[in-house]
Amino acid sequence: MATLLAIITGIALFFFAIISQGGVEVFISAPSMMIVLGGTLAAVFISFPLPSVLKVAGVLLQIFKKDIQNPSWVIALVVRLSFKARQQSLLSLEQDIGVIDNRMIKLGLELVIDGHPAQLIRDVLETELDFVQIRHRRGEHIFRTAGKFAPSFGLIGTLIGLVQMLQTLGATGTDAANSLGHGMALALITTFYGAVMANLFFLPVAEKLKSRTDDEVLRTQIVIEGVLMLQAGMNPRIIERKLNSYLPPEQRASYYEDILKKQNRR
């Protein structure tokens, strides 16, 4: 919510300044838009397989839906499960799997309950993590590449406009300056489109995808370490201390104490 407000404020400031200086209708030019969009799309479609590009469109919607949740709930969950596993048994975690809605924790617990050795579990989970990263980084890479192509096609469009204008130069007679001005204005709009698309859409979204990936990698690393310590039957208190070191001090909490208190009350 706050993020959306901040973005809108920035963009409003930007467009208000443009309007306050003169009409906005001079910035509307279908051919300029077609050159920049057409060129950028063509370059992107040649660069990447179509399914990857389409999948990115899906990712895009999801990005602005919600902010990433605080990964402390992962720690709370792992500590609670390790407590239960020590009091009852590893197998007793089977009934918890159905409730968990995080794919990586689920997969990790399944592997633990199936009795696979720690090395295999680590291998499988880290390969999953690698793959999640590769898939996410590809999305970021597509946007970053589009952000490089867009200004180039903006420049190409301006070159096209300039060449066409210069060819007719001298033939226009009296209102030469008028014609020259209009021609150059039209030509420059394409550069404007390319720069705005890159700097207000492609590059910031690429950056956003990068933060998302970093956050997800962090959460998955906590899951991997947590599941392996849980399997090794380590003390929940030590598990908590070690996993908490992944979080900034202000996000840490003592789940162990809460559980202990609840246990004692019962």
Interface of this chain with its own copies, residues 141 to 200, rule: CB under 8 A: 145, 149, 152-153, 155-157, 159-171, 175-182, 184-185, 188-189, 191-192, 195-196, 198-200
Binder to its own copies among 203, 223, 228, 230 (CB under 8 A)? 203
Give 185's contacts (C-beta < 8 A, 6+ positions apart).
26
Instruction: Tell me, by CB under 8 A, how many residues bind its own copies.
Output: 107
- Give me the least distance between CB of 44 and its own copies, in Å please: 8
Q: Which is nearer to its own copies, 81 or 151 (CB)?
A: 151
Binder to its own copies among 31, 80, 102, 106 (CB under 8 A)? 31
Give 78's contacts (C-beta < 8 A, 6+ positions apart).
105, 222, 223, 226, 227, 229, 230, 239, 243
- Give me the least distance between CB of 131 and its own copies, in Å please: 6
Find the binding residues for its own copies in span 54-113 (CB under 8 A). Answer: 67-68, 103
Binder to its own copies among 89, 92, 94, 135 (CB under 8 A)? 135
Give 259's contacts (C-beta < 8 A, 6+ positions apart).
79, 80, 83, 236
- Binding part of the chain for its own copies, among 25-33, 72-80, 92-100, 256-264 by CB under 8 A, reads 25-33
- Give me the least distance between CB of 79 and its own copies, in Å please: 16
- Binding part of the chain for its own copies, among 79-87, 90-98, 238-246, 253-261 by CB under 8 A, reads 238-246
Q: What secondary structure does DSSP assign to 118-140, as a single string?
A: HHHHHHHHHHHHHHHHHHHHHHH
- Give me the least distance between CB of 73 and its own copies, in Å please: 17
Instruction: Encode 115-144: b = buried (16+ Cβ within 10 Å), e = exposed.
Output: eeeeeebbeebeebbeebeeebebbbbbbb
